[in-house]
């Protein structure tokens, strides 16, 4: 059974300007399968529908047509959220809580039992290297540290699938390296990882397969395991897919 | 329509019926205990206080404010009197060297403090259960300023709103009304009989004790008046000079 | 099936953690300094005014004190309720909540209860100061009606916080929601006048609309026991309990409406 399955998923955004509705496409007829243990990257320009896809899978948005599954749960489903961990783009946290408190809070919400919780928090704080700062309030945290808190909260309930939206956007080189090694460690632990990015060089370092999304449509799926010079080849494929025809030669 | 929406709408309907029933039952059994806005008969310079009181449910506090305004007014200069003249009078009274023709300004001039009744009415429109406005207000208007009809009107309002035969307050308002009637026709003997029932020296406000002392004097009961003034000067130290003055006059009357 | 159940996990009702962090959020914000400030305003103004009104000191302190308590909890209550969810949407902290195994109505109820706990604490704190003030400066004695009037203030908050929270979810604008809640508060106190207008007006349409408004808006005067402290017999307790139950149900209706709107909300 695939960990994530998307069938003909469509999302149209409606916005009202002076009572007149205006429509814009979020994603259109998206089909996708991600196998258990796989690291899948969604690559696309800004506004191409990466975040929309993830939000639909998490039940933050509701699809207009088509359906999506997390294992055998048709989303949105409360049970499916036990199986997924999510880190949104540039996440915000309650600044008045400490790292320890916030991870405990999300653990409670996910139903992690009281007796296991502290052990799990210790373990995860160790993994994201925040043990020494656990009692500091998040207001005092740097961007990189906050991102690590974000990873920690996504892991507290030991989910099978992780959704990382624009994981490294806005981080400094140290932060980027940290995040990359964290993702690789999670990969070793056989987690299914679904991430989105517009940075090709990062995607090739961690992903098994990449889906290229353009204006809400998944135009190509590339298996990186079959490429030799991943970076260069993926870039070429991406540009030829994303650029309007005629401009490829110019670049 | 999803299942949760159907459940939600169903529960809204059921809860609304229950809420409506509870509300109308409560409203039918407990009549709103204040006058509606259409009966607001007194408007001072502006009705903001009344409107604010009604829109925010602060009638009782608004009545307090009007009552404090009333007390300030009664303690301040009267119409046609400047602030300096008023302070001069107060200073005279404090030094005890006032002249007989205005030895008690409040007693003498029935046209002074003309707005008293209107202010009291305003306070009890906001809170008709405000006993002290009737009790103290009627004494000032009726017994002191000798505008008996206004005082009686105020007291009647109080008696109507506060009907409760088991309440001391209710009986005091009735006694005040009766005493006022005798006072008006100068039947001081009967007025005293009722005032003595109504006034509790340990509990009643100063103004009522002074009313009783003055009525004793008017009736020729100088000894009783002297005794009461002694009590007043004892209980209210700020009244000492005024009381000394009175006691001196009363002692002369008893001797002469 | 292996994928359906995850070991070491319970999925009970999730209201409590939401309520708890709401309480924590408030405790760690600056609201408590405002509370202290308000206690000073309450104590100061009631003492000043009471000194101007001989024989009625206790009454004046009680009236001003209870008015201060009510106004303070009303303002903090509406403000907190309106921003409760909108702020989380704006800050995007809502993403991490809505992707947890948490029913959306649980989130609404949890947030709501959290605010009520804070308001209850504020009322009790201010009320204690007020009682202390009365005991120290007057020969006042605690009456059951005094306690009931404070309880009724809390029940008014139960209603208005539900109204404000739901308004924020329906209008998705904190200013509109605040204005709506404020209007509800004012008209709710004016409701006996509304009824009188409805009874007297000739036009059938206007009559209908006024009656609709009258019954749609909670009758806050029924809860306004603090204005009735001067009435010797007070409000009979069976009616008080009926009114309080009405308040709870009214709030519940609004919470259901709010939850319905929220369940359709996309982030």
Q: Is A84 within a domain? A: no
Range of lowest pLDDT (A85-99, A230-244, C210-224): A230-244
User: C87: domain range?
Assistant: 15-263
- Give the strands of the sheet with A65-70, arranged side by side: A20-34, A4-17, A65-70, A73-74
In chain B, which residues have their Cβ closer than 8 Å to the Cβ of C229?
60
In chain B, which residues have their Cβ closer than 8 Å to the Cβ of C219?
23, 27
Check if B132 contacts C (Cβ < 8 Å). yes
Q: What is the arithmetic mean of pLDDT over B33-50? A: 75
Residue B15 has pLDDT above 90, yes or no: yes
Residue B105 has pLDDT above 50, yes or no: no
Q: Is C192 within a domain? A: yes
Q: Is C178 within a domain? A: yes
Q: What are phi and psi of A13, to 5 degrees?
A: -85, 135
Domain count, chain C: 1
pLDDT tens-digit readout, C42-87? 899 989 988 898 889 999 999 999 999 999 999 999 999 999 899 8
Range of lowest pLDDT (A127-141, A144-158, C200-214, C222-236): C222-236
In chain B, which residues have their Cβ closer than 8 Å to the Cβ of C138?
none
Strand duo A192-197 + A161-165: pairing: parallel
Asked if C62 contacts C142 with a C-beta cutoff of 8 angstroms, the reply is no
Q: Is C187 within a domain? A: yes
pLDDT tens-digit readout, B110-147? 778 888 999 999 999 999 999 999 999 999 999 998 99
Distance CA A18, CA C113 (A): 37
Instruction: Please name the member of A71, A78, A160 whose beta carbon is closest to the beta carbon of C103.
Output: A78
> pTM for this structure?
0.89
The domains found in chain B, sorted by start residue, are 44-255 (1.25.40)
Range of lowest pLDDT (B21-35, B148-162, B170-184): B21-35
In chain C, which residues have their Cβ closer than 8 Å to the Cβ of A72?
1, 3-4
Q: Is C184 within a domain? A: yes
Q: Is C118 within a domain? A: yes
pLDDT tens-digit readout, B216-225? 999 999 999 9
Residue C7 has pLDDT above 70, yes or no: no
Res A175: pLDDT: 85
Res B141: pLDDT: 94
Q: What percent of chain A has pLDDT over 70?
A: 97
pLDDT tens-digit readout, A96-139? 889 999 999 999 988 888 888 899 999 999 888 889 988 999 88
Res B96: pLDDT: 52
Packed helices B48-56 and B116-126: angle between N→C axes, nearest 10 degrees: 10
Domain count, chain A: 1
Top pLDDT among A223 and B100 is at A223
Res C152: pLDDT: 94
Residue A249 has pLDDT above 70, yes or no: no
Q: What is the arithmetic mean of pLDDT over B154-166? A: 92
Asked if A134 contacts A98 with a C-beta cutoff of 8 angstroms, the reply is yes
Question: If residue C63 lies in a helix (H) or strand (E), which one and from where to where?
Answer: helix C57-90
Q: Is A45 within a domain? A: yes
Q: Provide the pLDDT confidence category of residue C246 given band limits of 50, 70 and 90.
A: very high
Res B1: pLDDT: 64
Asked if A219 contacts A213 with a C-beta cutoff of 8 angstroms, the reply is yes
Q: Do chains B and C touch (3 or more CB pairs under 8 A)?
A: yes
Contacts of B123 (CB under 8 A, 6+ apart): B63, B66, B67, B70, B130, B133, B137
**Interchain proximity C193–B37, CB inside 8 Å:** yes
Q: Provide the pLDDT confidence category of residue A205 given band limits of 50, 70 and 90.
A: confident
Give the ranges where A89-229 is alpha helix by DSSP (H): 99-109, 114-127, 143-155, 173-188, 200-206
Within 170-199 of B, beta carbons closer than 8 Å to C belong to none
Res B42: pLDDT: 58
Q: Is A91 within a domain? A: no
Q: Is C237 within a domain? A: yes
Top pLDDT among A237 and A61 is at A61
Residue C242 has pLDDT above 90, yes or no: yes
Res A250: pLDDT: 45
Q: Is A187 within a domain? A: no
Q: Is C97 within a domain? A: yes
Q: Provide the pLDDT confidence category of residue B87 given band limits of 50, 70 and 90.
A: confident
Packed helices C237-263 and C104-137: angle between N→C axes, nearest 10 degrees: 140
Query: Is the link from the previous residue into B158 a cis peptide, with omega within 30 of 0?
Result: no
Residue B239 has pLDDT above 70, yes or no: yes
Asked if C46 contacts C60 with a C-beta cutoff of 8 angstroms, the reply is yes
Q: What is the mean pLDDT of chain A?
A: 87
Res B94: pLDDT: 58
Closest residue, chain B, to C262 (C-alpha): B5
In chain C, which residues have their Cβ closer than 8 Å to the Cβ of B67?
53, 56
User: A60: domain range?
Assistant: 1-77+203-251
Res B93: pLDDT: 62
Q: Is A8 within a domain? A: yes
Instruction: Please name the member of B26, B33, B54 whose beta carbon is closest to the beta carbon of C246.
Output: B26
Range of lowest pLDDT (A6-20, B31-45, B227-241, C74-88): B31-45
Within 40-59 of B, beta carbons closer than 8 Å to C belong to 54-59
DSSP state of B129: T
Q: What is the mean pLDDT of chain B?
A: 86
Res B85: pLDDT: 77
Which value does ipTM take for this structure? 0.89
Q: What percent of chain A has pLDDT over 90?
A: 34
Closest residue, chain C, to B10 (C-alpha): C256
Question: If residue A214 lies in a helix (H) or strand (E), which one and from where to where?
Answer: strand A209-214
Q: Provide the pLDDT confidence category of residue B19 given band limits of 50, 70 and 90.
A: very high
Q: What is the arithmetic mean of pLDDT over A76-93? A: 87
Q: Which of A14-28, B94-108, B177-191 has the highest mean pLDDT?
A: B177-191
Q: What percent of chain C has pLDDT over 90?
A: 58
Check if B162 contacts C (Cβ < 8 Å). yes
Q: How far is A72 from chain C (nearest CA, A)?
A: 8
Q: Do chains B and A touch (3 or more CB pairs under 8 A)?
A: no
Q: Do chains A and C touch (3 or more CB pairs under 8 A)?
A: yes
Residue B109 has pLDDT above 80, yes or no: no
CATH for A33: 3.40.50.300
Minimal CA–CA distance to B49: which of B58, B41, A223? B58
Res B47: pLDDT: 80
Best A11, A64, A74, A82 member to test C by mutation, with max C CBs in 10 Å, is A82
Q: What are phi and psi of A194, to 5 degrees?
A: -120, 110
Distance CA C37, CA C34 (A): 5
């Amino acid at each position: 059974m695939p960990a994530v399955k998307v069938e003909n998923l469509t999302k149209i955004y409606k916005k009202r300007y002076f009572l007149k509705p205006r429509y814009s496409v979020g994603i259109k007829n998206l089909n996708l399968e991600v196998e258990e243990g796989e690291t899948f990257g969604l690559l696309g320009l800004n506004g191409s529908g990466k975040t929309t896809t993830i939000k639909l899978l998490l039940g933050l948005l509701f699809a207009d047509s088509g359906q999506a599954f997390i294992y055998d749960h048709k989303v949105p489903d409360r049970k499916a959220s036990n199986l997924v961990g999510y880190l949104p783009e540039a996440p915000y946290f309650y600044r008045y809580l400490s790292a320890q408190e916030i991870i405990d809070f999300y653990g409670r919400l996910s139903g992690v039992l009281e007796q296991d919780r502290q052990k799990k928090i210790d373990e995860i704080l160790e993994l994201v290297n925040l043990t020494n700062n656990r009692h500091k309030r998040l207001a005092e945290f740097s961007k990189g540290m906050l991102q690590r808190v974000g990873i920690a909260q996504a892991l507290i309930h030991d989910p099978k699938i992780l959704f990382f939206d624009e994981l490294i956007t806005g981080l400094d080189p140290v932060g980027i390296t940290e995040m990359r090694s964290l993702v690789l460690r999670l990969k070793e632990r056989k987690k299914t990882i679904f991430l989105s990015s517009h940075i090709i060089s990062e995607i090739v370092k961690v992903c098994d397969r990449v889906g290229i999304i353009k204006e809400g449509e998944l135009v190509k799926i590339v298996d990186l395991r079959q490429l030799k010079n991943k970076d260069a080849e993926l870039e070429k494929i991406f540009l030829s897919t994303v650029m309007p025809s005629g401009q490829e030669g110019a670049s | 329509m999803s299942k949760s929406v159907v459940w939600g709408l169903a529960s809204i309907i059921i809860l609304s019926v229950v809420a409506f029933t509870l509300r109308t039952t409560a409203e039918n059994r407990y009549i709103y205990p204040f006058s509606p806005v259409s009966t607001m008969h007194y408007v001072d310079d502006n009705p903001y206080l009344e409107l604010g009181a009604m829109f925010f449910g602060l009638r009782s506090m608004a009545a307090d404010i009007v009552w404090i305004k009333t007390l300030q007014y009664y303690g301040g200069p009267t119409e046609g009197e400047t602030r300096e003249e008023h302070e001069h009078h107060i200073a005279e009274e404090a030094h005890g060297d006032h002249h007989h023709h205005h030895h008690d300004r409040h007693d003498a001039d029935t046209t002074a403090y003309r707005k008293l009744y209107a202010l009291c009415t305003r306070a009890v429109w906001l809170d008709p259960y405000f006993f002290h406005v009737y009790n103290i207000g009627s004494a000032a208007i009726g017994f002191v300023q000798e505008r008996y009809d206004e005082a009686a009107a105020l007291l009647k309002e109080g008696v109507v709103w506060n009907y409760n035969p088991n309440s001391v307050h209710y009986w005091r308002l009735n006694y005040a009304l009766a005493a006022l009637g005798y006072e008006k026709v100068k039947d001081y003997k009967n007025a005293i009989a009722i005032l003595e029932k109504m006034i509790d020296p340990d509990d009643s406000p100063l103004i009522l004790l002074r009313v009783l002392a003055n009525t004793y004097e008017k009736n020729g009961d100088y000894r009783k008046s002297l005794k009461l003034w002694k009590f007043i000067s004892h209980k209210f130290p700020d009244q000492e000079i005024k009381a000394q003055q009175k006691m001196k006059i009363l002692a002369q009357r008893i001797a002469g | 099936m292996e994928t359906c159940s995850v070991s070491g996990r319970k999925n009970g009702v999730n209201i409590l953690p939401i309520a708890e962090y709401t309480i924590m959020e408030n405790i760690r914000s600056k609201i408590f300094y405002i509370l202290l400030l308000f206690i000073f305003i309450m104590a100061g103004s009631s003492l000043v005014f009471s000194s101007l009104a001989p024989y009625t000191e206790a009454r004046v302190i009680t009236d001003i004190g209870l008015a201060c308590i009510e106004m303070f909890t009303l303002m903090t209550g509406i403000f907190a309720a309106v921003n409760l969810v909108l702020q989380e949407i704006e800050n995007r902290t809502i993403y991490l909540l809505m992707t947890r195994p948490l029913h959306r109505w649980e989130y609404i109820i949890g947030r709501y209860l959290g605010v009520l706990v804070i308001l209850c604490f504020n009322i009790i704190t201010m009320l204690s100061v007020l009682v202390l003030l009365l005991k120290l400066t007057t020969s006042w004695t605690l009456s059951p009606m005094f306690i009931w009037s404070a309880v009724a203030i809390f029940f008014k908050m139960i209603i208005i916080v539900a109204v404000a929270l739901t308004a924020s979810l329906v209008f998705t604008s904190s200013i509109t929601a605040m204005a709506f809640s404020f209007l509800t508060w004012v008209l709710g106190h004016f409701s006996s006048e509304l009824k009188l207008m409805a009874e007297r007006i000739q036009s059938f349409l206007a009559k209908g609309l006024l009656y609709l408004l009258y019954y749609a808006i909670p009758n806050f005067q029924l809860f306004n026991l603090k204005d009735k402290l001067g009435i010797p017999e007070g409000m009979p307790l069976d009616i008080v309990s009926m009114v309080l139950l009405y308040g709870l149900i009214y709030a519940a209706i609004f919470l259901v409406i709010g939850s319905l709107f929220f369940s359709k909300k996309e982030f």
